[in-house]
Structure 1
Amino acid sequence: MTDPICPLCNRPIPPEAGQSLHHLIPRLKGGKGGPVVLLHEICHKEIHASLTEAELARDYHTIEALQAHPRLAKFIAWVRKRPPTFRSRVPGPRRRR
């Protein structure tokens, strides 16, 4: 069986990399039971460190929109150079906007 592909960074997601389900529309903003995507844990954390729940619901509820966000685009370019099993050792704080 092949590993699933992270739609954000387009790298395989091996089980040891840490997998995480992301609600495209946040649950608190009406997305409960809505579409979800399987992401690397590090990719999922970066989405939530970069954007508020309101921003996700209003403007960034598709993979394409997330990939086009300037900060996430920079992160994606950086993480694509890492092996699929790469995990951040120290979780970063939510960044100021």
Structure 2
Amino acid sequence: MPDQTTDPTCPLCNRPIPPDVPQSLHHLVPKLKGGKGGPTVLLHHICHKEIHATLSEAELARDYSTIAALQQHPRLAKFIAWIRKRPPAFTSRVPGHRRKR
């Protein structure tokens, strides 16, 4: 039986997700692109926001429908390297969207 005292781990940044930190369920294939009912992963909310600030739903469905693919994206790889240096409870204080097109 698994130890229930261990926090879940964010598969994107590989840091634990403490219970008092915002978390999000990410559909690996966006719901609007056929992913409704498909596989999901539990992420830190900040990691989930960065995915959607970086990639469109079409890009996610077409090229980035796995954690490994997401980790290989240049901007996300840079974000992951940065966020791994922060404590698991770190949240962004920057309001709003940062999508750059």
- TM bracket (short chain): over 0.9
State the number of aligned residues. Answer: 97
Unaligned runs of 5+ in 1: none
- 1: CA distance, partners of 2:87 / 2:100: 28
Q: How far has the Cα of 1:21 moved from its partner?
A: 0.2
Unaligned runs of 5+ in 2: none
The TM-score, its normalising length taken from structure 1, stands at: 0.96
Runs of 4+ in structure 1 displaced over 4 angstroms? none
Aligned to 2:79: 75
Q: How far has the Cα of 1:94 moved from its partner?
A: 3.5
Q: How far has the Cα of 1:92 moved from its partner?
A: 4.5
Name which one, 1 or 2, has greater alpha-carbon Rg: 2
Percent identical across equivalent pairs? 80
Aligned to 1:32: 36
- 1: CA distance, partners of 2:96 / 2:18: 22
Aligned to 2:60: 56
The TM-score, its normalising length taken from structure 2, stands at: 0.92
Q: How far has the Cα of 1:93 moved from its partner?
A: 1.9
